[in-house]
Structure 1
């Protein structure tokens, strides 16, 4: 059968002959480098505050990485939850999709007006009540494995510390996604884990309107651990309309104090 003159012969990319190991190895390295350059870089969630982003690898919270959030002291649990929800709201403002909040037994259910006050659309937040921490971790892991196409963020509230084994499972499952992944654990429940960052949150003095209502939530934020980054301590406020963090009050004029890497730097 005669081949059409208009048809081009199939192109076959061949590596150098096996009897030339050096050339073959060089070609393999070049091919891997080309394939690696075509992969999209891992994305990050920026705080929009240079003092904070400068302490984080690549300038923001790594998406697909596990991040731990905890209250600074007893009574700061609502502040820690508010900070985590603000992060979720900022992520949802950037991309379509929904967020999943998994609550272990005993945690109060967030209500619509409170979520709206943080700039978080209640219709974009899925709530799942788990019977125990183990069930909560299973739900988080399953969401990471199956919900990456519809979810933008996944967060869990647990009753005890973040165990090493569970953190590894979440780390591996999250590494295949670009989701914001948060676990909120109670005060005093420190335990070794593989979380990329650990945040300790306390309530700050919030800006109020003329009626005495909170206009901008405020938190004392301490980055207690940061893999491949630096620790820091800041007083941050949240603009729910713009979905943006900012340095609060007097600290806004002194970024060198607010962004310090030492413990308690920039505390009021």
Structure 2
């Protein structure tokens, strides 16, 4: 049955009922209604606006990054500190993917140029990355890697993408990737060799080396550690940290006994590979 034009709507009836209430109770009711409207509006905004950054979860690190984390929709470059640190750089990149996928739905895409190792299921799971949520694509060259990433970014259906290349990220290609990623704002990583030093448009540049694996009371390895050097950060600050990775909690940590030591005093090299 249709409502009469003269019949007040729900808010009007509530307002009239409030007029008959004591002033204090009416004021409290009005404040509660306003607060509920504000909560609903914030929820709508949060649903329509994805997070702008991926925090690493460490105040000491996130304080160096603009917005408190890795900017989503921007390319981030990860490189080995030296020849031989490639597995460590790959492990660090995969840990970032795992952390992001723990917060969102969907899959990650890895596009791999020739000369890079292909991650395998057991190694992915050891870093907390579900192999069932990882898509692997082997490309014939860096050019094919960038073409595949750009097409996937324009599709806008993947929350995380990583390209493993041989020659670094050119300025022009970095700009094209950022433009393609602006709408969906995924996590976008480029892993390159230690020798590729050309200037590029990446928002951050990380150099990764082994940091000595954590061990339990029986002497068994409990998880990887990396010496992470933030060499370049647009609108942020460089820094160096010894990071450990908790694959079960998808969380980075600072080893308590080593957090205040200079890099030279930290343990020797150990594998952080996937």
Scaled by the length of structure 1, the TM-score of the pair is 0.78
Q: Deviations over 1:70-89 (max 9, x none)?
A: 00001000000000000000
Shifted more, 231-240 versus 202-211: the winner is 202-211
Q: Which residue of 1 aligns with 2:32?
A: none
Q: Does residue 1:64 correspond to 2:50, yes or no?
A: no
1:127 aligns with 2:136: yes
Q: Report the equivalent of 1:231.
A: 238
In 1: Cα distance, 2:265 partner to 2:207 partner: 13
- 2:255 aligns with 248
Cα RMSD of the aligned pairs, angstroms, is 2.2
Secondary structure at 1:183 match in 2: strand
Instruction: Could you tell me which runs of 5 or more consecutive residues in structure 2 were left unpaired when the two chains were aligned.
Output: 6-44, 267-274
For residues 243 and 42 of structure 1, the distance between their equivalents in structure 2, rounded to whole angstroms, comes to 18
TM-score (norm 2): 0.76
Q: Distance in 2 between matches of 1:190 and 1:238?
A: 27
Distance 1:124 1:67 in 2: 21
The corresponding residue for 1:187 is 194
Which of 149, 154, 161 is residue 145 of structure 1 equivalent to? 154
Give the Cα–Cα distance (whole angstroms) in 2 for the partners of residues 98 and 40 of structure 1: 20
2:167 matches 1:163:
no
Question: Does the alignment pair 1:173 with 2:180?
Answer: yes
Distance (whole Å) between structure 2 residues aligned to residue 209 and residue 194 of structure 1: 41
Q: Secondary structure of the equivalent of 2:102?
A: helix
Residues 1:112 and 1:40: Cα distance change in structure 2 (over 3 Å):
closer
Between the aligned partners of 2:242 and 2:227, the Cα distance in structure 1 is 5
- C-alpha separation in 1, matches of 2:197 and 2:210: 20
